[in-house]
Structure 1
Amino acid sequence: MSLTHLSAGAASAVPAPARVDVARTWLLRSPLAAGGDTAADVLVLDLEDGLPAGRKAEGRERARRAAEASPAWLRISAAGTRDGEADLALCRELGDRLAGVVLAMCAGPADVAHVAASLPTGIPIVAMIESAAALLSAPAIAAHPATRRLAFGTGDFRRDTGMSAERIALAWPRAQLVVASAAAGIPGPIDGPCGQIEQAQDAAEHAAAMGFTGTLALRDAAIPGAHAGFTPTAAEVEAARAALAAVPDGPVDGSYAPTLARARALVSRAEALATL
């Protein structure tokens, strides 16, 4: 079941805020596209890149109608732009039919503050880091109280910096987002779109190894592989539980305590994901 459907009021053992924190796959879909079902944890109606300039108004109207059936996540255009302000007007109109916002082209914490002030209280914001300047501001963006997660807009970031798509080239910016998220006490960031469908699991496993906990996706066919890459395996969970059960008698030394902490975190994440 997708997080989109759970947000509409279906029963779940995990409260809605926690589901936002553990969601692995965030599918970006144009409101102009037919169909609303998806295996992704979160379906995001994309009002930014998902709509051509001449069809923005039509796309917002379709998103409004979609939210009548189930609370909707919206990807909105950059704060302070004409399209961004029109998108925020729609968000205010939706009220409790708005599940959350993915903020494109977030430049700094002031953008998060501007969007948060325009939304109903408590609406989660995922801030997209898509430029060199935004990356340098990532710690402050992550630390803003309204920011629930960071997301890496790899395409625009590469356009801004000239970096290639090679993993070694993007390792440093990815690490910066992971560190910024950890320092702010929010869940690990969401990676850029996972690329070719046949590479989705490998891309997700690489991102998970870097400390990411989710990915954007552009096609439904990539979701199973991405889920597999971000979900602890049965063997990993068994090993973590065995480590927790084998705590040595007496004081735990400094080298063992981090192992136990990682094991607890892995088991906790696996249990949360099992409820989605």
Structure 2
Amino acid sequence: MPQTDISPAIARSWLLVPASKPELFQIAQESEADAIIIDIEDAVAAKDKAQARADTVEWLSTGHRAWVRINDAASDFWSTDLAELEQAPGLEGVMLAKTESASHVNDTADRLPEGMRILALVETARGVLHVEQIANAPSTFRLAFGTGDFKRDTATGDDPIALAYARSQLVIASRAARLPAPIDGPTLSMDGLDAGTRLAKEMGMSGKLMLTHEQAPMVNAGLAPSPDEVAWAHGFVRAFEESGGKITDGSDLPRLARAQKIQAQARDFGIEIDAASLAELNY
């Protein structure tokens, strides 16, 4: 079932759909992905971009809504992308490819309707180096990590440790700028998806890009609180309230904040714990 009521600030699964394959747009919309991004950048060959852009604008002008990944600010296609998308009524926001500076975000925002949301896709060494300024650009809505292009740019490998520094930089910059937690890059194989999703969560990221809609259920479950975490949160908050808010040591308030965050996420994502299970909790 489509997760159309999930705010993009907390969206977990971000499905990239090639703009050159408009037959996939409806399939994407009916999937369990929290958010859809029609991709007119890397997923489309240069000779096909005009038609792909036209198909995207038509889709967004006929009662449908989606984000669009546009070409980077240094490309020959960036200004045309923005000019044609500017008035598309169903445009949720844009993902700016290869964001390397705050000026890339600012210049993009200047060509879009006021308040249009921009996902800054950081996928180069220069982008990571300038990620603090990118995060603090007024129109940056959320950061995303383009792992494939970053590995190509820096010649790093597939071992998670090779990308740990870059991921941490996005997480820290997002938190310092009071942005939602960043969106991690895609995992290409279903076999590695569980581990890839757990890694993103462990690193402090709260979203993940996907190249196929079949991955949405696993990503959504992996980036949401588990039933055990929700049960713990309810139990801890209940015990804290029943004690009159008594603080026993310095870990109580941090744990209370974590429990309340988990409860909020459970509400947002519709995760429920049955009454019988809650009644059995003993904290």
**TM-score, with length taken from structure 2:** 0.88
2:212 matched residue in structure 1 = 219
The one-letter amino acid of 1:60's match is R
2:277 matched residue in structure 1 = none
Which of 143, 146, 149 is equivalent to 2:139? 146
What percentage of aligned pairs have identical amino acids? 36
1:9 matched residue in structure 2 = none
Q: Which whole-Å deviations, capped at 9, do the CAs of 1:208-245 have from their partners, x for residues lacking one?
A: 01100010000112222211211111111010111112
2:261 matched residue in structure 1 = 265
Query: How far is 1:252 from its partner?
Result: 6.1
Matched, 1:88 2:82: yes
Which of 55, 73, 78 is equivalent to 2:72? 78
The one-letter amino acid of 2:73's match is A
Secondary structure at 2:158's aligned position in 1? coil
2:279 matched residue in structure 1 = none
**TM-score, with length taken from structure 1:** 0.90
Asked if the contact 1:74–1:101 (Cα under 8 Å) also holds between the matched residues in 2, the reply is yes
Q: Distance in 1 between matches of 2:249 and 2:131?
A: 34
1:202 matched residue in structure 2 = 195
* Mean CA deviation greater in 187-196 or 64-73: 64-73
Secondary structure at 2:37's aligned position in 1? strand
Q: Distance in 1 between matches of 2:109 and 2:249?
A: 44
The one-letter amino acid of 2:82's match is L
Query: How far is 1:80 from its partner?
Result: 4.2
* Mean CA deviation greater in 150-159 or 80-89: 80-89
2:57 matched residue in structure 1 = 64
Indicate how the Cα distance of structure 1 residues 252 and 108 shifts in structure 2: closer, same or farther if over 3 A, else same.
Answer: farther
Secondary structure at 1:75's aligned position in 2? strand
Which of 5, 9, 20 is equivalent to 1:32? 20
| Structure 2 unaligned blocks of 5 or more | 272-283
Q: Distance in 1 between matches of 2:262 and 2:146?
A: 26
Pairs within 5 Å for 1:248-259: 248-249=243-244, 250-251=246-247, 253-259=249-255
Asked if the contact 2:101–2:134 (Cα under 8 Å) also holds between the matched residues in 1, the reply is yes
Q: Distance in 2 between matches of 1:239 and 1:255?
A: 15
- Going by fraction, where is helix more abundant, 1 or 2? 1
The one-letter amino acid of 1:263's match is A
Pairs within 5 Å for 1:1-276: 1-2=1-2, 6=4, 12=5, 19-33=7-21, 34-35=23-24, 36-37=26-27, 38-69=31-62, 70-94=64-88, 96-247=89-240, 248-249=243-244, 250-251=246-247, 253-274=249-270
Asked if the contact 1:194–1:222 (Cα under 8 Å) also holds between the matched residues in 2, the reply is no
| Structure 1 unaligned blocks of 5 or more | 7-11
Asked if the contact 1:142–1:186 (Cα under 8 Å) also holds between the matched residues in 2, the reply is yes
Q: Distance in 2 between matches of 1:190 and 1:128?
A: 9
The alignment yields a C-alpha RMSD, in angstroms, of 1.6
Asked if the contact 1:194–1:226 (Cα under 8 Å) also holds between the matched residues in 2, the reply is no
Q: Distance in 2 between matches of 1:126 and 1:2?
A: 21
Q: Which whole-Å deviations, capped at 9, do the CAs of 1:13-68 have from their partners, x for residues lacking one?
A: x6xxxx01111011111122213222211111101011101101000011011112
Query: How far is 1:93 from its partner?
Result: 2.9
The one-letter amino acid of 2:253's match is A
The one-letter amino acid of 2:185's match is G
Q: Distance in 1 between matches of 2:161 and 2:139?
A: 31
